[in-house]
Amino acid sequence: MVTYREDGSSEVQLGQTRVMGIVTAQLVQPYRDRPKEGMLSIFTEFSPMADPSFEPGRPGELAVELGRIIDRGLRESRAVDTESLCILAGKFVWAVRIDIHILDNGGNLVDAANIAALAALLTFRRPECSLGGEDGQEVIVHPPEIREPLPLMVHHLPIAITFGFFSNESILLIDPTHNEEAVMNGRMTTTVNANGDICAIQKGGGEGVPQRVIMQCLQLATSKAASITKQIKDAVEAFNTERALRKIKRHPTSTGVDVREKQNQYTCNIPVSLEHFKSKTEVVITRTRKHYPLNMAA
């Protein structure tokens, strides 16, 4: 289930796993060897909220691996167009920062975090800016009230699908829960997009699997990616229409709680909950528990 709160923030619920993604952007100076490209950086926070074994402070190796998988999927496959983030070559570019907060660890954090990052990127709007000043070298950033902010150019959506391997029973699992993750022998994450392109594959250690199984995984991943891409796009659509409607009617329609001065008279307007302000898009990404027989005996 993908929920949106405001531009550039998304919350994904995948079974028991809950991940929040926040996108912000800042104007910075570009790297010297890439003066015409913007920057994309991903920060993953394994909050101690998600799991009692997560420690606060420096990200552990799991957090770093997760960040790298998502980063590879987005940056190297050129999903986000960094050249469109350039305002003034060599001087000012947009640095987009994605913060991923893991709120609840129910397993398969990589997939959920990937979806959260994509969803947040799709709804993020950066302020419009124009060149001005005397010699056209100054950048003027227009506040959102004056000029409508612009979306990012996202070419395609790389979706990460994680598989778990159990060699004893020769089973292949898609989307493992954290109990399954604790006992599985190996894992593999494939990042594919709806067009059938493989953006990244990550298999770090664990049990060795035959090539035939890898191909089977890739085929499964491609079919799953198509359906997940559709769900993300539907949720973004719903959010965009909700946002457009919100811009039209601006008066507050919910009443607050009234507190009066006199000690003995309390008028109480029952506070109305925030339901109708936020768009709750009911996109459920069901945890599929498909077991595929693995023929380990070559």
Partner 1 sequence: MEVDREDGRSQNQLRPLACSRNILHRAHGSASWSQGDTKVLAAVYGPKAGTKKNENPEKACIEVIWKPKTGQIGKLEKEYEMILKRTLQSICILTVNPNTTTSVIIQVVNDDGALLPSAINAACMALVDAGIPMRHLAVSICCCVPRSGLVILDPTKLEEQNMKAFAYLVFPNSVHSVLPEGSLSVQGEPIENGVITSVTHGVMSVDDYFFCLERGRAASTKLSDFLRRNLQHQSTDSSKAG
Give contact residues for partner 1 (rule: CB under 8 A): 5-6, 9, 16, 18, 20, 22, 24, 45, 47-52, 56, 97, 99, 101, 103-106, 251-252, 254-261, 263, 266, 268, 271-274
Q: Quick one: tokens of 51?
A: 């799991």
CB nearer partner 1, residue 18 or residue 72 = 18
Q: Is 53 helix (H, G, I), strand (E, B) or coil?
A: coil
CB nearer partner 1, residue 230 or residue 260 = 260
Cα separation, 57 vs 63, in Å, equals: 11
- Kindly state the smallest distance separating residue 253's Cβ from partner 1, in Å: 10
- Closest listed residue to residue 96, CA positions, set 120, 77, 114: 120
Residues 6+ positions from 206 with CB-CB distance below 8 Å: 165, 184, 185, 186, 187
What is the end-to-end Cα distance of the chain in Å, rounded?
A: 40
- Kindly state the smallest distance separating residue 97's Cβ from partner 1, in Å: 7
- Kindly state the smallest distance separating residue 277's Cβ from partner 1, in Å: 8
Beta strands 92-104; 39-46: pairing state: parallel
- Kindly state the smallest distance separating residue 15's Cβ from partner 1, in Å: 9
CB nearer partner 1, residue 208 or residue 271 = 271
**Number of CB atoms found within 10 A of residue 269's CB:** 10
CB nearer partner 1, residue 41 or residue 219 = 41
Cα separation, 43 vs 100, in Å, equals: 6
CB nearer partner 1, residue 14 or residue 220 = 14
- Kindly state the smallest distance separating residue 268's Cβ from partner 1, in Å: 7
**Position of tokens 């640095």?**
95
Cα separation, 80 vs 40, in Å, equals: 8
CB nearer partner 1, residue 110 or residue 217 = 110
Cα separation, 31 vs 21, in Å, equals: 26
- Kindly state the smallest distance separating residue 9's Cβ from partner 1, in Å: 8
**Rounded to the nearest 5°, which phi and psi values hold at 190?**
-115, 135
